[in-house]
């Protein structure tokens, strides 16, 4: 997905949340999205290792 499509989706989702739940919920969701984006930008997850750990956990 391109950053434009992701941005449009996030904007639409935030607008929908604002419309349905009000401005306070909009601010909370926007803050959580910002925190998640910052964590995702600075933390790299080794998805292969996570998959292996999950497979080992569920196969026991």
Q: What is the mean pLDDT of each run of 10 residues along the chain (60 residues)?
A: 81 89 91 84 78 88
**Residues whose CB is less than 8 angstroms from the CB of residue 25 and which lie 6 or more positions away in sequence, other chains included:** 17, 18
DSSP 8-class letter at 19: H
Cα 32 to its chain centre, rounded Å, is 8
Instruction: Identify whether the C-beta of residue 11 lies closer than 8 Å to the C-beta of residue 33.
Output: no
Look up the pTM and report it. Answer: 0.60
The pLDDT, as a whole number, for residue 24 is: 92
- Helix 23-42 / helix 3-21 crossing angle, nearest 10 deg: 150
């Amino acid at each position: 997905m391109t950053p434009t499509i992701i941005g449009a989706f996030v904007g639409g989702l935030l607008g929908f949340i604002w419309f349905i739940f009000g401005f306070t919920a909009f601010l909370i969701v926007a803050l959580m999205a910002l925190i998640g984006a910052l964590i995702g930008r600075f933390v790299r997850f080794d998805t292969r290792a996570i998959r292996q750990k999950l497979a080992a956990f569920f196969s026991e």
